[in-house]
């Protein structure tokens, strides 16, 4: 009589045959990956050779362009110096032409013989309190001393610069 009573194990027993089969399958899978990796490496090596060839070609172009830039820079500097020398030679002629062709206008005088062209009276520019005969609210000339404790802080002292400009005659 068996003691197993129908209870099965959740995992199968470890058998050597099963392990050998799984290792063979893994070997086949890894050999496939190895062949694929070798193909990929060969492609990358080809691309690397192409990139190196293009890099050498580009470096050669850069060297040629650098020499060309230096040559053109020297030529430009020579032209700039020649241009400056020609401007100095031409300056007196340009000044003479400007003086010859200058537009000069005599000073104008206004004809005031007509009634509507008569000059007006000068504009009366005085402080409003002087023009109207009134005085400011606080006479700066009569302002209390700045050191007086009863003097508000906003009232300028009689010696300040604003006092001199605001004094009423």
Q: Sign of torsion, CA 144 150 154 159?
A: positive
Residue 147 lies in a domain: yes
**CA gap 151, 105 in Å, rounded:** 62
Per the structure, the complete domain to which residue 131 belongs is given by 127-169
Number of domains in the chain: 1
pTM for the model stands at 0.34
Q: Sign of torsion, CA 96 98 101 106?
A: negative
Tens digits of per-residue pLDDT, 114-139?
888 777 777 878 888 787 777 656 55
Which residues contact residue 67 at a Cβ distance below 8 angstroms, ignoring those fewer than 6 apart?
Answer: none
Residue 164 lies in a domain: yes
Residue 63 lies in a domain: no
């Amino acid at each position: 009589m068996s003691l197993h009573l129908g209870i099965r194990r959740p995992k199968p027993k470890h058998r050597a045959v099963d392990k050998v089969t799984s290792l063979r399958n893994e070997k086949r899978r890894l050999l496939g990956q190895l062949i694929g990796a070798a193909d990929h490496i060969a492609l990358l090596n080809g691309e690397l050779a192409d990139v190196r060839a293009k890099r050498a070609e580009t470096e050669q172009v850069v060297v040629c362009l650098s020499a060309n830039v230096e040559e053109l820079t020297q030529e430009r500097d020579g032209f700039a110096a020649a241009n400056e020398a020609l401007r100095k030679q031409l300056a007196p002629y340009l000044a003479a032409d400007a003086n010859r062709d200058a537009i000069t206008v005599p000073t104008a005088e206004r004809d005031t013989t007509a009634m509507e062209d008569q000059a007006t009276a000068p504009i009366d520019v005085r402080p409003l309190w002087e023009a109207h005969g009134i005085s400011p609210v606080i006479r700066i000339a009569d302002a209390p001393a700045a050191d007086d404790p009863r003097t508000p802080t906003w009232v300028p002292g009689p010696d300040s610069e604003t006092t001199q400009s605001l004094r009423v005659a």
